[in-house]
Each structure stands twice: as C-alpha cells, then as structure tokens.
Structure 1
Amino acid sequence: MSLKNVTQRLSQVSAKIHKAPVDTIEWPESVEPSSAWFTSPKLMTIAGTSFETSLNEQTRRRLSFFEAVNFYSLNINGEKPLVEGLNKRLYAKGQARLLPYLHHFLDEENKHMQFFGRFCMSYSGKVYKDKKISFPRTYVEGEEDFLFFAKVVIFEEIADYFNILQAADENLHPVARKINLLHHQDEARHLTFGRQLVLELFEEKKTVWSTETLQGISIYLLSYMVATWKEYYNPEMYRDAGLSDSYEMMTEAWNCEAQKNLRREASSKCIRFFLDTGIITEEPDL
C-alpha cells in the first residue's frame, strides 16, 4: 500500500475519534503506590534480578508505581520533541502528501501528553526529566527528516510492546491499564504511518546518499536504540520507591540476562524492520 493510501485510511479512522482520551479515564482522587501493581511485574526492571526475590511484594508494588511514572515520563519526554518536530514539518516544502494525517498525528500526541502528565503530576507530583543529550550536527539533504521519523518508529515500537501487554494485564491498577490501552490504540496507527514513511524516505534517498552517510545513519540509529532503553533503568525511580542502592540496582538490572532477553524481545519487531529494509546493518547490543 502506498503512503498516500495509508495516510488517507488512517486519517479517516482518526477523524471518527473526537472525545479526548483523558476524559474517558476514571481518575481516582489519589492512589496509594504500594496498594496495587502499576507496572506488570514481568515488565519491571527488576524482573529476573536478585531484587525480584529479595524485595517483599509491598515494596515491589511501590516500585511498580514509580516505574509507571518513569514510563509515562519517557513518553512525555519523547512526545514533546515529536510534537515540535511535527509542527516544524506541517507546512514544509515537500510535505503536502503528509499534511492530512500529520494534523491527526499531532493532535493525538498532544492528547497522550495530557493523560500521561495527569497521572504523573496528580499521583507523584513530578515528571522525570529527559536525560538524552542532543549535540548539534550537520545533515545531508533529506537525512534530518529521515532520522526524525526513524527515531519516532523506534521509540514508539518499544513503548507499544509495553502498552499491549499492560493493557491486557488484569492485575494492573485500572487507571494504568486504561492508559496503556488508550496509548496503544493511537500508536498502532502512528506506527503504520511511520514505518511506511520511513521506508519510502529511505528508498528515495539510499541511492543518493554516500556509503559514509548510510553507515553513519546505521550507527546513529543503533546508538539511539540503546540510549532509549537506558532511560527505562532510571535510578531516580528506585530512590523514590525508598530503595537506597539505586545505582547498584540499575547496574544489575541492565546487565541481567533476563532483562537483556526482555529488551531483545520488546525490540525484535523494530529491529527486524530496520534490518530488512537495510537501514541498519547489524543488531544493536541490547
């Protein structure tokens, strides 16, 4: 299916959805972090580590709350530059074919930040800060737009893996479960659009870009995948859960074989897409 057909079909679906997702959630006045699971236990960063067995269930549930705050913060921090980037590209030269769906994309990303932000600020009083550092660089023609949308696909593929599993987890707190469901429903469309756009942009430019540029793109995106995953292991969430050995926990979790397997599984669809299209030339070291 062509990008034009994809954007038309997705625009029609988005146009049918009018109600703001944040208004469909039954928000309790407050939540007790240790009273329920807010992150599925098998998706927590301590799954498979020694901390999974050494911490009691009440502490693990409390940590699951702050892992949810971190996950939602990652989405807020990921969607802020996405919204800025989409705004920048709305009426840019050569983007007319994307314009109908970009408006829906932008609107839906703004709505996502509403429910992620409401959870974080209402129940934890904070959004964890973005720890990614961007360095100024120059781009060859078409490279900046390509990398922008490629990073969107990577970030959203990983997040959607968590969304799908947690939306189906009956043990999760109802608010957390609903947030994951709502996010997945929109992201499924965004990913369909993003994959098709990235593929077409790459096909347009891969014979024009130099070998050096293509190699640089592969290296950059592989590094971005690793950097994205690193933020899931935020020592601040361990401290907020009342755990003093936050950096020890972060280090053990990152190096744990079970966590490596989780990262590979959650990234597998994304990695396969980028390998099959030739955008990356090897698998990331996750």
Structure 2
Amino acid sequence: MVSDVIDRNERFRGILDRLTTKSIDDYYNPYRLFEWPEKLPEDMWWMSPELTTTHGTELAEKLTPEQLHTLSRYESVNFYSLNVHGIRELLIEVVNRIHTKGFETPSEFFHHFIGEENEHMWFFAEFCLRYGGRIYRQPAGASAGPAPSPKIESLLVFCRIMIFEELVDHYNSTMAADKRLHETIRAINRIHHQDESRHIAFGRELVDLLYQDVKRTATEEELLEISHYLRRYMTHSFETLYHPQVYRDAGLDRPHEVRRALLDSPARAQAEDRAFRKTTKYLERTGIIR
C-alpha cells in the first residue's frame, strides 16, 4: 500500500515537517501584498524575450521592436492563463486525495499546498483580467487513457503536477530576476517562485515514493507506457505556450501557420530542452522515463 511506503519513510516525514513549517513561516496575504497599477507600459517587455516563443527564430528577425513588445504582452497573458488552468486541475486532483487512504501522511502539507495554489490562481487570474482583459482558453491535455491501477493513476497525477510546476518555475525564476520587466510582473513571478520551490521539493519526494511502490507490481509494458506518456505530456505542456490566439491578438497574419512554423523551428526544441532540463534529468535518474 502507498500509505505503508510513505509512513515507513522517515526521511519523507522529516521533509514534510520542514516544508509545512516553512509554509507557515512564509505565509502572506496575496490580497494585500500586490500593488496593481491601472495600466502597465506597452512599450516594454512583458516577458523575458529569451522566453518568448519567437526567440531565436526567423520570425523574430522580421518583427519590429514594437511588434515584439506587443507579442510579449499577449504571451505573458497566455502564460498566466496557463497557470490558472493548470492550478485548477492540480487542485482538483489533490483535493480528491487529501485525507484518503494512502495519503494520510502528506495530508497536512496538502492543506498548505491547496491554500497556496488557490491564492496563486487568484493573482494570476487577476493579472490576466486586469491587463489582458481575458483568460486564454487552453487545448485538452495529453490523454493517458484509463490507468491500469489506482497506484499508477496517482503516480501519473503527481508526475503531471511536478512537470507543470517545474515548467512554470523555469519561467518564474527567470522573470523574477529580469530588470527589463515591470516590477508588478517581477513581483508575481518572484512570490510564485518562492512558494513553488517548496511544492517542487515535496513533489519530487512524493513522486519517487509513488514510483518505487508502482515498480513492485507493474509490468515492464506498464512502466514503458508511463515513460512514453510523460514524455508526450512534457511536449504537450510546452506546446501550450504556442497559442494561435496570442499571435492573432498580436496582429500577426495566419496565426495557425505561425504556430506551426514556430513549433517546427529548431529553437522550439532547444527552448523545451532548457525548460525541462532539470525535470528530465530527475525523471531519467529515477528511471521513471527511459
């Protein structure tokens, strides 16, 4: 049973205690923390240019600085929209498991996790609605099909949560330190990075334990399918940053063709590798992906 694996692991219990204490010590009220200017300047970057989907491509060389700033504005809103949708999905999965059989030990930390993620979803949505006037819709996720067992289902759930959080944190940590961005943008990325560092530490420990438990009974075919699915999921997650409506709103012609060309660019593969460098290294080291 998962609960047996977790309960017997003193290291994990110690990590949970430290992360829970840090969540309490670092608590802040997001509804009072942020200053929301009426408008943000449009003649500047809203996302670090190295993180934009056109960076390093032929298209970027053809656009004017004004067009690149405009595009970064809509890509920024899409990125925070991704956070809203991703957080909602992970909250559903964690709420479904809190105080259930097999997850008794991490349930106290789940309470802090749920509270923090709910507040993250609020300030990302607030940014989108204030400065973009919308929350972009997102395509359906990469389907894994029905899981062969509850153990594998839970493993895939927490792998998806970890992958999502590590992808987002790659962007957060870069933008938090980027002085080319407005302080409001830097602030929301900085505070999210602060919280996500705890969530990522927790996620990696839990995923490792869940995988060790799954390995005891899963077939080689099932383990291989887990690996294939997670690689597909990482690619799908990264490709959601390439949104045709973003290109349309930024005034680019034939937005679906723009998206296809950018996805086919060598720069996209390089950017995906950079974004998931630490995640891929962890998943390969643990054997979760082959």
TM range (shorter): over 0.9
Provide the rounded CA distance (Å) in 2 between the counterparts of 1:22 and 1:63: 29
Alignment match, 1:113: 121
Provide the rounded CA distance (Å) in 2 between the counterparts of 1:52 and 1:197: 41
For residue 192 of structure 1, report the CA deviation from its aligned partner: 0.2
- Alignment deviations for residues 56-97 of structure 1 (CA, whole Å, 9 cap, x no partner): 111111111110111001111111011111111111112111
1:95 and 2:113 equivalent? no
Provide the rounded CA distance (Å) in 2 between the counterparts of 1:91 and 1:135: 25
Helix, strand or coil for the counterpart of 2:276?
Answer: helix
For residue 135 of structure 1, report the CA deviation from its aligned partner: 7.0
1:192 and 2:191 equivalent? no
1:257 and 2:263 equivalent? no
- Alignment deviations for residues 31-67 of structure 1 (CA, whole Å, 9 cap, x no partner): 35x3221101111000011221211111111111110
Contact 2:144 2:229 in 1 (8 A): no
For residue 123 of structure 1, report the CA deviation from its aligned partner: 1.4
Query: Gaps (5+ residues) in structure 1?
Result: 282-286
Alignment match, 2:6: none
Alignment match, 2:5: none
Helix, strand or coil for the counterpart of 1:213?
Answer: helix
Alignment match, 2:133: 125
Provide the rounded CA distance (Å) in 2 between the counterparts of 1:259 and 1:56: 21
Contact 2:45 2:180 in 1 (8 A): yes
**Where do residues 204-223 of structure 1 align in structure 2 (5 Å cutoff)?**
204-223=213-232
Alignment match, 2:249: 240
Provide the alpha-carbon RMSD of the alignment: 1.4
Provide the rounded CA distance (Å) in 2 between the counterparts of 1:269 and 1:19: 28
The residue type paired with residue 192 of structure 1 is A
- Alignment deviations for residues 205-256 of structure 1 (CA, whole Å, 9 cap, x no partner): 2021111211111111111011101101111111111112312221222122
Contact 1:38 1:172 in 2 (8 A): yes
1:35 and 2:51 equivalent? no
**Where do residues 45-194 of structure 1 align in structure 2 (5 Å cutoff)?**
45-133=53-141, 134=143, 137-194=146-203
Helix, strand or coil for the counterpart of 2:104?
Answer: coil
Contact 2:116 2:195 in 1 (8 A): yes
The residue type paired with residue 79 of structure 2 is F
Alignment match, 2:32: 23
For residue 136 of structure 1, report the CA deviation from its aligned partner: 5.4
Helix, strand or coil for the counterpart of 1:187?
Answer: helix
Alignment match, 1:4: 13
Provide the rounded CA distance (Å) in 1 between the counterparts of 2:145 and 2:225: 15
Contact 1:49 1:252 in 2 (8 A): no
For residue 30 of structure 1, report the CA deviation from its aligned partner: 2.3
4+ long deviations beyond 6 Å = none
Provide the rounded CA distance (Å) in 1 between the counterparts of 2:32 and 2:43: 24
Q: State TM-score, norm by structure 2.
A: 0.93
Equivalent residue pairs, number = 280
Contact 1:44 1:67 in 2 (8 A): yes
Provide the rounded CA distance (Å) in 1 between the counterparts of 2:196 and 2:27: 16
Alignment match, 1:284: none
Provide the rounded CA distance (Å) in 2 between the counterparts of 1:128 and 1:210: 40
For residue 140 of structure 1, report the CA deviation from its aligned partner: 1.3
Provide the rounded CA distance (Å) in 2 between the counterparts of 1:190 and 1:279: 19
The residue type paired with residue 266 of structure 2 is E
Helix, strand or coil for the counterpart of 1:28?
Answer: coil
Structure 1, 257-266 or 152-161: larger mean CA deviation: 257-266
1:267 and 2:279 equivalent? no
Contact 1:202 1:279 in 2 (8 A): yes
Percentage of identical aligned residues? 36
For residue 9 of structure 1, report the CA deviation from its aligned partner: 0.4
Provide the rounded CA distance (Å) in 2 between the counterparts of 1:225 and 1:156: 11
The residue type paired with residue 226 of structure 1 is T
Q: State TM-score, norm by structure 1.
A: 0.94
Helix, strand or coil for the counterpart of 2:35?
Answer: coil
Helix, strand or coil for the counterpart of 2:36?
Answer: coil
Structure 1, 124-133 or 18-27: larger mean CA deviation: 18-27
